[in-house]
Structure 1
């Protein structure tokens, strides 16, 4: 399942983390979590519970361990395409469509919240048409490389070897 990140809280959570990978124009951020619950859903549940006809039902509380890891249940995608980097709305919409299509082509993406951020301007000299086929194919190729690198397991830096002085 690929959902869309829509709430500012979720964007803030993901963008607060360092980028997972970068390309010439895009930065990719990832957070292994589900979107934050909507406040109106909680309010709706409270009012539904208040209207129960059973009145005196015993209230049971389950202990919740906050240290348990939250396993995300799907892939949620958000896009940040600022006007300062893509002046024309046609270009911004093309970039967003290409981002969605790039994620749809890769069903094996790790679950969680993903945000693709346009971090450098689109060259208007190189791509004079706002929605040209050249721009579409260049963006698609760059996103494909970026997502392919992100799907590979991240290599951890090896621990430094102990110095011979410390062993003695």
Structure 2
């Protein structure tokens, strides 16, 4: 699995459309063009961004929804760990997991509580399960 690193890669993957959602996360996917001897002009802008036909993944955890850096980093680690379990079931495409709402700070007081990690993990497993079942 390759990781998205540049802003244009993230923007291209987000433009691909939403594949699945949970209350806190959204998964966006951009299907990569098949490797052809002569690439069409409409796919030529995607080719330089993603050189290999593999699963690409990026994680977006904005400060707006996770104020503490510790929480943002813990959520990103969970995203990459759970995605590794689903790598063989995901199509060769660019994926971005985006946190779209915050976890209640009244319920999850600690920035990295085991309860928060479990809630994030369960929701991510649902997200990837739904995405793996969609073509």
Q: Given the two structures, how large is their TM-score scaled by the length of structure 1?
A: 0.68
Cα deviations by residue, 1:75-96 (Å, 9 ceiling, x for unpaired): 1111110001000000000000
Query: C-alpha separation between the residues in 2 aligned to 1:124 and 1:153?
Result: 33
Structure 1 residues 14-48: Cα deviation after superposition (integer angstroms, max 9, x where no partner)? 112321111000010001127xxxxxxxxxxxxxx
Q: d(CA) in 1 for partners of 2:87 and 2:19?
A: 19
| Residue matched to 1:32 | 31
Query: What does residue 79 of structure 1 align with?
Result: 59
The alignment partner of 2:112 has SS state of coil
Cα distance per residue 1:63-107 (max 9 Å; x no partner): 72417988x621111111000100000000000000000111113
Could you list the runs of 4 or more consecutive aligned residues of structure 1 that deviate by over 6 angstroms after TM superposition?
A: 67-70
Task: Give the length in aligned residue pairs.
Answer: 125
| Structure 1 residue 101 corresponds to structure 2 residue 100 | no
Q: Which runs of 5+ in 2 are unaligned?
A: none
Residue 134 to residue 13, structure 1, CA distance change in 2 (3 Å): same
Partner of 2:2: 3
Deviates further, 80-89 or 102-111: 102-111
Larger Rg: 1
SS of corresponding position for 1:105: helix
The 5-angstrom pairing of residues 128-143 of structure 1 reads: 128-143=109-124
- RMSD of equivalent CA atoms: 2.2
* 1:126–1:3 distance in 2 versus 1, CA, 3 Å: same
More strand by share: 2
1:126 aligns with 2:126: no
TM-score (norm: length of structure 2):
0.84
